[in-house]
């Protein structure tokens, strides 16, 4: 039964709740993000629904999203088949755990990453190397007719640098291709908002292929097996004098009395899985959005190149030190991030206690999905012409100006822990490629922004004609 003062929304039918109506709206609108925005127009910014047996609330507005992100009792993650079947039948990792366990693990990880992989010189050296590899690769690729698929330029290189930064390990090209193919399969097949078997768990016994259960479990198994093999190799070949990301420190915790209660080998594997999942898809898709918008807006590309020519000249590649002096390049990245992230959802939440949101009652256990369109692509959140790509919105008097309402990496205890890395990586790749190459629409393939629902929003593959400047 619908609890009193639960947020308004579509009618609940026995057993399925609103699943049917949501499915139809999803099909009609082309994405769950658009479907829930449509519901918000009808019922208000906080929509109450039931999908299968789960009470679900969709949040589609800035202030309600801020309230959600900052309320500790709404900080939980779903505790269901979606969060357990990926990691050994238990909730493990960072993304899908909560409470004290999550806090201890996240605090440890953040401290260790800060002291190893996220140290300025370590991050800068790894990212600069990645940029050089991408440039060499692209130079080779344009030797023929110059036409290249934009979204295929980055995945293996992003994954390689992420893997090296997180584990201190380097893999052969062949190994990295194996991991990359598993990650690509993950991105295309796993929706962040849950699959059919999440809402109707019994389907895993009746039609495990059709309901997405087998794919979900098998892709996670592939990635975890890969990570497990690499960690075994690292343990055998590295001594403690040669640091490898945060992993040595984590293994020390597993073996000491203090860490025994929550540090374990399974948890270490799940953390690496989470860092790869969270970092790979977001970074690759943002880069695809950046270059798609640059194809659609050649004047923006020219302005960025002009800024770099005048600030750093043509004699060297941009570095992270140049970031502060290249506000226009930064504004292109922020605007593309807004356009990318605004098309999807935050990671699902669960109410850990009875609570309230936007004045409505949210019972313990309710599943909460925040539609980022409400914070990043909505006039109500202060964005003028929100669907128009306009980097200048982040500029004021020739300097970068980031509005307070730009909540890109979340807030509070569940805030993203890879924001510094993500922004540095994207900046260095975009600035360096624009400094060396021109990107134009490929003859006969006009650029079109066609968004595909995947783990995070992605674009339909599109071609660019790339030449050296």
Q: Which is nearer to ligand HEM, 275 or 332 (CB)?
A: 275
Q: For residue 59, what are the β-bridge partners?
A: 46, 370
Asked if 91 is part of the footprint of ligand HEM (rule: CB under 6 A), the reply reads: no
Close Cβ partners of 440 (under 8 Å, ≥ 6 residues apart): 295, 298, 464, 465, 466, 467
**C-alpha dist (Å) from residue 277 to 254, 271, 272:** 23, 10, 9
Site mask for ligand HEM (CB under 6 A), range 11-50, x = bound: ----------------------------------------
Q: Which of 422, 429, 430, 433 binds ligand HEM (CB under 6 A)?
A: 422
Q: Which of 46, 64, 81, 95 binds ligand HEM (CB under 6 A)?
A: 95
Residues 102-131 interacting with ligand HEM (rule: CB under 6 A): 106
Contact 334, 317 (CB under 8 A): no
Q: Where are the beta strands (DSSP E) in 131-242?
A: 147-149
71 binds ligand HEM (CB under 6 A): no
Over the window 233 to 272, marking each residue x when it contacts ligand HEM by CB under 6 A and - when it does not, the resulting string is ----------------------------------------
Query: Of 408, 428, 430, 451, which lies in the binding site for ligand HEM, with binding defined by CB under 6 A?
Result: 408
Least spacing, CB of residue 152 vs ligand HEM, in Å: 18
Phi, psi for 455 (deg, rounded to 5): -55, -50
From 28-36, 215-223, 407-415, 433-441, give the range in contact with ligand HEM by CB under 6 A.
407-415
Q: H or E stretch including 428? A: helix 419-436
Contact 42, 28 (CB under 8 A): no
In the complex, minimum distance from the CB of residue 158 to ligand HEM, in angstroms, rounded to a whole number: 9
Does 421 participate in binding ligand HEM (rule CB under 6 A)?
yes
Stretch that binds ligand HEM, among 21-29, 132-140, 278-286, 298-306 (CB under 6 A): 278-286
Q: Cα dist. 418→28, 31, 174, 391, 458 in Å?
A: 35, 27, 26, 23, 19
State the nearest-atom distance from the C-beta of 253 to ligand HEM, in Å: 18
- Could you write out the DSSP letters of every residue in 212-276? THHHHHHHHHHHHHHHHHHHHHHHHH--TTS--TTHHHHHHHHHSGGGTTT--HHHHHHHHHHHH
Measured distance CA(453)–CA(411) in Å, rounded: 24
> What's the DSSP call for residue 32?
H
Binding to ligand HEM, residues 335-354 (CB under 6 A): 337, 341, 346-347
Q: What's the burial of 27, exposed, middle or buried (CB within 10 Å: 0-12/13-18/19+)?
A: exposed
**What's the Cα-to-Cα distance from 44 to each of 8, 22, 316, 370, rounded to whole Å?**
8, 16, 52, 14
- Beta carbon nearer to ligand HEM, 211 or 346: 346
For 324, other C-beta atoms within 10 Å of its C-beta total 10
CB of 456 to ligand HEM, least distance (A): 8
Strands 360-362 and 355-357: antiparallel
CB of residue 350 to ligand HEM, shortest distance in Å: 11
Is 94 among the residues that bind ligand HEM (CB under 6 A)?
A: yes
Q: Which is nearer to ligand HEM, 109 or 312 (CB)?
A: 109
Name 426's Cβ contacts closer than 8 Å, sequence gap at least 6: 283, 286, 287, 290, 333, 337
Min CB(245)–ligand HEM separation in Å: 11
Question: Closest approach of Cβ 151 to ligand HEM, in Å?
Answer: 15
- CB-closest chain residue to ligand HEM: 418
Q: Is 416 in the site for ligand HEM (CB under 6 A)?
A: yes
Q: Which stretch binds ligand HEM (CB under 6 A): 211-219, 241-249, 281-289, 429-437?
A: 281-289
Beta carbon of residue 394, minimum distance to ligand HEM (angstroms, whole number): 15
CB of 68 to ligand HEM, least distance (A): 8
Nearer to ligand HEM, 23 or 413 (CB): 413
- Interface mask toward ligand HEM for 170-209; x: CB under 6 A: ----------------------------------------
Q: Distance of alpha carbon 299 from its chain centroid, rounded?
A: 28
Contact between 296 and ligand HEM per CB under 6 A: no
- Check binding of 282 to ligand HEM (CB under 6 A): yes
Residues 6+ apart with CB under 8 A from 250: 108, 112, 263, 268, 271
* Nearest residue (CB) to ligand HEM, 12 versus 291: 291
State how far the alpha carbon of 374 is from the alpha carbons of 40, 48, 408, in Å. Answer: 10, 16, 12
Our CB check for ligand HEM shows the closer of 413 and 440 to be 413
Q: By the criterion CB under 6 A, which residues form the site for ligand HEM?
A: 69, 94-95, 106, 274-275, 278-279, 282-283, 286, 337, 341, 346-347, 408-410, 414, 416-418, 421-422
């Amino acid at each position: 039964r619908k609890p009193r003062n639960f947020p308004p929304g579509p009618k609940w039918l026995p057993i399925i709740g609103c699943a049917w109506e949501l499915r139809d709206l999803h099909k009609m609108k082309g994405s769950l993000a658009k479907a829930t925005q449509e519901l918000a127009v009808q019922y208000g910014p906080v929509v109450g629904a039931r999908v299968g047996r789960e009470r679900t609330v969709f949040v589609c507005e800035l202030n309600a999203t801020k309230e959600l992100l900052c309320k500790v009792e709404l900080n939980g993650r779903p505790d269901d088949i979606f969060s357990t079947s990926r990691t050994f039948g238990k909730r493990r990792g960072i993304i899908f755990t909560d409470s004290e366990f999550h806090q201890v693990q996240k605090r440890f990880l953040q401290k260790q990453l800060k002291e190893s992989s996220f140290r300025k010189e370590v991050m800068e050296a790894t990212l600069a190397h990645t940029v050089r590899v991408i440039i060499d690769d692209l130079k080779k690729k344009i030797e023929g007719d110059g036409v290249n698929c934009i979204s295929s330029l980055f995945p293996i290189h992003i994954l390689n640098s992420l893997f090296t930064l997180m584990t201190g390990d380097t893999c052969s090209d062949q190994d990295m291709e194996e991991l990359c193919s598993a990650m690509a399969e993950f991105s295309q097949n796993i929706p962040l908002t849950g699959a059919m078997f999440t809402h109707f768990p019994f389907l895993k016994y009746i039609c495990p292929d059709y309901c997405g259960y087998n794919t979900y479990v098998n892709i996670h198994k592939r990635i975890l097996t890969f990570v497990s093999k690499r960690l075994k190799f690292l343990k055998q070949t590295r001594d403690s004098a040669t640091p490898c990301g945060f992993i040595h420190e984590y293994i020390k915790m597993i073996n000491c009395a203090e860490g025994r209660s929550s540090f374990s080998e399974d948890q270490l594997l799940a953390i690496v899985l989470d860092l790869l999942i969270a970092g790979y898809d977001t970074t690759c898709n943002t880069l695809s959005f950046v270059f798609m918008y640059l194809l659609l807006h050649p004047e923006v590309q020219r302005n960025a190149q002009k800024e770099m020519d005048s600030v750093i000249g043509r004699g060297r590649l941009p570095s992270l030190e140049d970031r502060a002096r290249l506000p226009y390049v930064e504004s292109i990245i922020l605007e593309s991030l807004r356009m990318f992230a605004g098309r999807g959802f935050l990671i699902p939440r669960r109410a850990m206690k009875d609570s309230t949101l936007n004045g409505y009652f949210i019972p313990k256990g309710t599943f909460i999905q925040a539609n980022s369109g409400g914070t990043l692509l909505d006039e109500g959140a202060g964005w003028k012409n929100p669907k128009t790509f306009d980097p200048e919105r982040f500029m004021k008097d020739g300097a970068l100006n980031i509005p307070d309402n730009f909540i890109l990496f979340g807030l509070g205890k569940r805030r993203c822990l890879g924001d510094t890395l993500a922004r540095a990586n994207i900046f260095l790749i975009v600035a360096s490629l624009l400094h060396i190459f021109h990107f134009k629409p490929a003859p006969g393939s006009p650029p079109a922004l066609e968004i595909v629902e995947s783990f995070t929003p992605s674009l339909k593959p599109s071609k660019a004609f790339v030449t050296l400047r």
